[in-house]
């Protein structure tokens, strides 16, 4: 009897690990291919058949090159782009989380007239394709005389604010009303209840939406391209990559693009590694599910 | 709870208490408005004018980036985009035999040319598709078949990719939610596809799907002996839409998975313990407890994924160029390529309406806006 259970749990463990390996390969393989391509020279990129590691076209020996990475760093645009992207994405996320969690507390936990219209109004601002609102947005920004970086931070609200508000509203609603009531009995104002009790409890949702919004802002291309057209110094990474010219005239520097893309993914992975612990905070802190 | 009864009651002896509660309600309302203020100010500042302008422009013939005079043309842009007409095609008869002509090359029966049948006034209709019904041949004509096709492509793309993403995202979230050694690293790895810059990821996939053995997939399939000649994944017809769905599923499943994971994390532990004691199996627990409790998290994840998928732009633009459009890439083509800003705005409004319908039906279906 006991032995049977042992075999059963062993099979379960193996199946579970196989599943994890399968998921990892599925999610990471294309990224591996980008790194692989970034370590190849122009002629290695065009080898047939494509090789799973950079190989010498003649001897087929393993021969990676760092020339693409060198070219990326020689291009001053890239490092400046990194700084710009960091500033813009961080500010966007902070603003979207603060304004979003305030609104979400009201929408998820307070009773007031006009709750539903407010929810739909906030969602409606992100229902248009980016291209369509671009001209109108550009007019607003010119009229207000905003700088390129500020323009990006505010215009990114169009897709981050509805997202943070809606996700957080859903999570606030899930928290038991008894929490608020008991805090009120203890003499806490609704806002104190929000800041001291509800907000820490929704930490998983805050971190999750924050990470997703940060990455969305980090990767945005169309608005950034438009608003930095008059101020090249404010270009973010995606725009900087698009302006790569490459060594060979009129040929797209594919290896360099892949090198830059691999490089900018690393800080994001570190960011997730740092913050992912917080995803397990909240109600179930310390608890383990089977 | 008690407050609702009191408010509905007309008994005089409850009056003092009633006052207190409505006072509290008013304070709650004021707090709600103050909390909403930052979000509303941002909307007013950044979204109000552009969105109002899109609505207005959709009723004009405005030309993008030009000084040409703009005229108000009512619903003309919408008529141009959405007019669809179904006509019967008469068989072409052989004058000698009275039988229907058969094309000697293809062996197919000959019908009238759609061009001769479809109306030309006020706008010219072009062929979208043909179909047979009850032995008769019909043609579907549209004044803008490219747009109708773009709508079809986008709807198919959205339905399939969002469905697969939901299933995969749920599975991955459940795996990552259980405890194992490298969980932290796994969660970081999980987000890599979402983290790769969208425009670059589209170029990367285009490279991997290249129609020769330069591309990873053709090289791999060739090595495995699955194909005789390279597949042109991104050429018109065939695999185009499937390839794009695969790319989108890869890219955005992490988004779904992370949102569902957060939903799993705030679930109260004691419910599962109680279910365990009651003898409910893991599968039963999943369907009876986990899934219903996850509904709000799944609903928002679905809403935002559907919303993004209906506006899909980058991968269609980069990977398919001008051969096949999504609604948003057709929108881009009309604005930048044709400089037809009025028509482009009308496309924007149509996309808006479609998304709105989807959002409302999700919210109704999953009951997330209930008090």
Q: What is the mean pLDDT of chain B?
A: 83
Task: Check CB contact under 8 Å for A106 and B351.
Answer: no
Residues A225 and A270 in one domain: yes
- Each residue of B288-297: pLDDT tens digit? 888 888 888 8
Residues B152 and B132 in one domain: no
The torsion of the CA quartet B255, B260, B262, B265, rounded to 10 degrees, works out to: -150
Domain span at residue B111 reads 85-143
Residues of B in contact with A37 (CB under 8 A): 204, 207
Rounded to an integer, what distance in angstroms lies between the CA atom of residue B233 and that of residue B206?
9
pLDDT tops 70 at residue B122: no
Structural element, H or E, at residue B89: strand B84-89
Residues A120 and A178 in one domain: yes
Residues B173 and B161 in one domain: yes
Q: Which of B43, B50, B269 sits opposite A284 (nearest CB)?
A: B269
Residues B99 and B168 in one domain: no
Residue of chain A minimizing CA distance to B182: A20
The torsion of the CA quartet A261, A264, A265, A267, rounded to 10 degrees, works out to: 170
Task: Check CB contact under 8 Å for A133 and B348.
Answer: yes
Enumerate the H helices of chain B as residue ranges: 2-8, 15-42, 49-57, 76-82, 114-117, 145-177, 183-190, 192-195, 198-208, 216-223, 240-265, 269-277, 282-285, 291-310, 314-315, 327-332, 341-366
Residues A86 and A45 in one domain: no
Residues B209 and B350 in one domain: yes
* pTM (2 d.p.): 0.86
Residues B251 and B338 in one domain: yes
- Residue B1 has what pLDDT? 38
| Residues 41-100, chain A, touching B (beta carbon < 8 A) | 45-50, 95, 98-100
Residue B179 near residue A288 (C-beta atoms within 8 A): yes
Distances (CA, A) of B237 to A134, B153, B241, B242, B249: 31, 11, 8, 10, 20
Single out the residue in A65, A86, A107 at which a domain terminates.
A65
Residue A88 near residue A248 (C-beta atoms within 8 A): no
Tens of pLDDT along chain A (290 residues)?
Answer: 455 668 888 888 888 888 889 999 999 988 998 999 999 888 888 887 788 888 888 888 888 888 889 888 887 888 999 999 999 999 999 999 999 999 999 998 888 888 889 999 999 988 888 888 888 898 899 899 999 999 999 999 999 999 999 999 988 888 888 877 888 788 888 788 888 888 888 888 898 899 999 999 999 998 999 899 888 899 999 998 888 865 555 567 888 889 998 998 888 888 888 887 776 644 443 333 32
Rounded to an integer, what distance in angstroms lies between the CA atom of residue B171 and that of residue B29?
41
Residues A20 and A112 in one domain: no
**In the numeric block, which tokens belong to residue B12?**
């005089």
Residues A132 and A186 in one domain: yes
Domain assignment present for B248: yes
Task: Check CB contact under 8 Å for B53 and A157.
Answer: no
Rounded to an integer, what distance in angstroms lies between the CA atom of residue A79 and that of residue A264?
10
Distances (CA, A) of B124 to A66, A152, B112, B347: 57, 42, 17, 19
For residue B100, the cross-strand partners are B93
Chain B closest-CA separation from residue A171 CA (Å)? 7
Between CA B357 and CA B367, with CA B363 as vertex, the angle to 5 degrees is 150
Task: Check CB contact under 8 Å for B198 and A221.
Answer: yes
Nearest CA among B147, B303, B293 for reference residue A123: B303
- Each residue of B172-207: pLDDT tens digit? 998 888 877 788 888 888 889 998 888 888 888 888
Return the sign of the alpha-carbon dihedral for residues B200, B202, B205, B211. Answer: negative
Assign residue A155 the CATH number of its domain: 1.10.3720.10
Task: Check CB contact under 8 Å for B250 and A49.
Answer: no
**In the numeric block, which tokens belong to residue B300?**
């928002």
**Sheet strands (E) in chain A:** none
- Residue B21 has what pLDDT? 65
| Dihedral pair phi/psi, residue A115, rounded to 5° | -65, -50
Check if B218 contacts A (Cβ < 8 Å): yes
- Each residue of B27-51: pLDDT tens digit? 888 889 999 999 999 999 888 899 9
DSSP state, residue B138: E
For chain A, the straight-line distance linking the first and the last C-alpha, in angstroms and rounded, comes to: 22
Complex prediction ipTM = 0.86
Distances (CA, A) of B306 to A225, B243, B315, B361: 25, 18, 16, 12
- Each residue of B323-334: pLDDT tens digit? 789 999 999 888
Q: Is the peptide bond before A49 cis (omega within 30 degrees of 0)?
A: yes
Q: How many domains does chain A have?
A: 2
Domain assignment present for A153: yes
Q: Which of A103, A140, A202 sits opposite B50 (nearest CB)?
A: A140
Structural element, H or E, at residue A77: helix A76-109
Best mutation target, A27, A246, A266, A278, to test chain B (most B CBs within 10 A): A27
Place of tokens 């060594």: A247
Check if B13 contacts A (Cβ < 8 Å): no
Residues B131 and B189 in one domain: no
Residues B301 and B194 in one domain: yes
Check if B64 contacts A (Cβ < 8 Å): yes
Residues A216 and A251 in one domain: yes
Nearest CA among B180, B50, B230 for reference residue A23: B180
Domain assignment present for A290: no
Rounded to an integer, what distance in angstroms lies between the CA atom of residue A181 and that of residue B215?
61
Domain span at residue A12 reads 1-65
Single out the residue in A50, A65, A80 at which a domain terminates.
A65
- Each residue of B221-272: pLDDT tens digit? 888 888 888 888 887 767 888 989 999 999 999 999 988 988 888 777 777 7
Domain assignment present for A289: no
Q: How many domains does chain B have?
A: 2
Residues of B in contact with A23 (CB under 8 A): 172, 175, 190
**In the numeric block, which tokens belong to residue A197?**
């009790």
- Residue A178 has what pLDDT? 82
Rounded to an integer, what distance in angstroms lies between the CA atom of residue B125 and that of residue B84?
8
- Residue B11 has what pLDDT? 40
Rounded to an integer, what distance in angstroms lies between the CA atom of residue B171 and that of residue B355?
26
Best mutation target, B58, B174, B197, to test chain A (most A CBs within 10 A): B197
Domain assignment present for A4: yes
Residues A60 and A36 in one domain: yes
Residues B131 and B254 in one domain: no
Rounded to an integer, what distance in angstroms lies between the CA atom of residue B306 and that of residue A190?
34
- Residue B65 has what pLDDT? 76
Residue B110 near residue B92 (C-beta atoms within 8 A): yes
Single out the residue in B121, B143, B165 at which a domain terminates.
B143
Residues A57 and A126 in one domain: no
Single out the residue in A65, A84, A117 at which a domain terminates.
A65
Rounded to an integer, what distance in angstroms lies between the CA atom of residue A285 and that of residue B222?
50
Rounded to an integer, what distance in angstroms lies between the CA atom of residue A140 and that of residue A89?
21
- Beta strands at B136-142 and B84-89: parallel, antiparallel or unpaired: antiparallel
Residues of A in contact with B367 (CB under 8 A): none
Residues A6 and A138 in one domain: no
What mean pLDDT do residues B157-161 have? 95
For residue A55, the cross-strand partners are A62
Assign residue B295 the CATH number of its domain: 1.10.3720.10
């Amino acid at each position: 009897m006991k032995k049977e259970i042992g075999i059963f749990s062993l099979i379960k463990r193996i199946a579970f690990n196989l599943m994890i390996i399968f998921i990892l390969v599925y999610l990471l393989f294309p990224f591996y291919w980008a790194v692989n391509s970034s370590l190849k020279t122009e002629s290695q990129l065009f080898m047939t058949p494509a090789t799973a590691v950079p190989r010498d076209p003649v001897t087929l020996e393993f021969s990676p090159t760092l020339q693409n990475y060198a070219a990326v760093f020689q291009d001053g645009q890239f490092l400046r782009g990194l700084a710009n992207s960091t500033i813009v994405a961080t500010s966007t996320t902070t603003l979207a989380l603060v304004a979003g969690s305030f609104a979400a507390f009201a929408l998820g936990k307070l009773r007031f007239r006009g709750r539903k219209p407010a929810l739909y109004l906030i969602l409606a601002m992100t229902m248009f394709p980016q291209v369509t609102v671009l001209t109108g947005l550009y007019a607003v920004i010119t009229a207000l005389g905003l700088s390129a970086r500020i323009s990006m931070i505010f215009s990114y609200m169009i897709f981050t604010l509805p997202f943070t508000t809606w996700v957080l509203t859903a999570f606030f609603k899930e928290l038991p009303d008894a929490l608020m009531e008991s805090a009120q009995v203890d003499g806490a104002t609704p806002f104190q209840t929000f800041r001291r009790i509800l907000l820490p409890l929704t930490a998983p949702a805050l971190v999750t939406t924050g990470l997703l919004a940060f990455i969305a802002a980090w990767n945005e291309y169309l608005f950034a391209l438009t608003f930095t057209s008059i101020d090249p110094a404010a270009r973010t990474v995606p725009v900087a990559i698009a302006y790569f010219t490459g060594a060979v005239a009129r040929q797209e520097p594919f290896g360099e693009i892949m090198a830059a893309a691999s490089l900018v993914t690393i800080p994001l992975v570190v960011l997730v590694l740092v913050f992912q612990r917080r995803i397990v905070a909240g109600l179930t802190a310390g608890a383990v599910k089977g | 709870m008690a407050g609702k009864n009191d408010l509905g009651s007309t008994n005089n002896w409850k009056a003092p208490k009633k006052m207190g509660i409505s006072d509290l309600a008013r304070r709650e309302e004021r707090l709600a408005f103050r909390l909403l203020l930052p979000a509303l100010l941002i909307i007013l500042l950044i979204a109000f004018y552009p969105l109002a302008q899109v609505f207005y422009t959709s009723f004009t013939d405005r030309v993008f980036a030009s000084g040409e005079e703009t005229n108000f043309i009512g619903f003309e842009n919408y008529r141009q985009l959405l007019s669809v007409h179904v006509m019967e095609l008469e068989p072409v008869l052989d004058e000698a035999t009275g039988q229907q002509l058969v094309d000697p090359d293809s062996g197919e029966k000959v019908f009238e040319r759609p061009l001769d049948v479809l109306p030309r006034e006020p706008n010219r209709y072009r062929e979208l598709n043909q179909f047979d019904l009850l032995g008769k041949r019909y043609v579907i004509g549209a004044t803008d078949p490219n747009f109708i096709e773009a709508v079809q492509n986008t709807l198919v793309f959205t339905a399939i990719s969002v469905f697969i993403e939901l299933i995969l995202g749920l599975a991955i979230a459940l795996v990552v939610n259980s405890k194992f050694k490298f969980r932290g690293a796994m969660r970081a790895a999980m987000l890599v596809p979402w983290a790769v810059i969208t425009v670059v990821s589209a170029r990367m996939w285009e490279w991997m799907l290249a129609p020769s053995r330069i591309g990873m997939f053709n090289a791999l399939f060739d090595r495995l002996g699955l194909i005789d000649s390279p597949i042109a994944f991104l050429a018109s017809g065939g695999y185009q839409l499937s390839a794009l769905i695969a790319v989108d599923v890869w890219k955005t499943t992490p988004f779904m998975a992370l949102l569902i994971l957060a939903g799993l994390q705030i679930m109260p532990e004691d419910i599962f313990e109680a279910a365990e004691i009651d003898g409910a199996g893991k599968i039963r627990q999943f369907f009876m407890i986990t899934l219903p409790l996850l509904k709000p998290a799944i609903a928002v994840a679905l809403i935002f994924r559907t919303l993004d998928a209906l506006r899909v732009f980058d991968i269609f633009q980069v990977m398919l160029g001008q051969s096949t459009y999504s609604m948003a890439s057709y929108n881009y083509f009309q604005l930048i390529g044709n400089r037809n800003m009025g028509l482009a705005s009308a496309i924007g409004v149509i996309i808006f309406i479609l998304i709105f319908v989807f959002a409302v039906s999700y919210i109704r279906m999953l009951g997330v806006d209930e008090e």
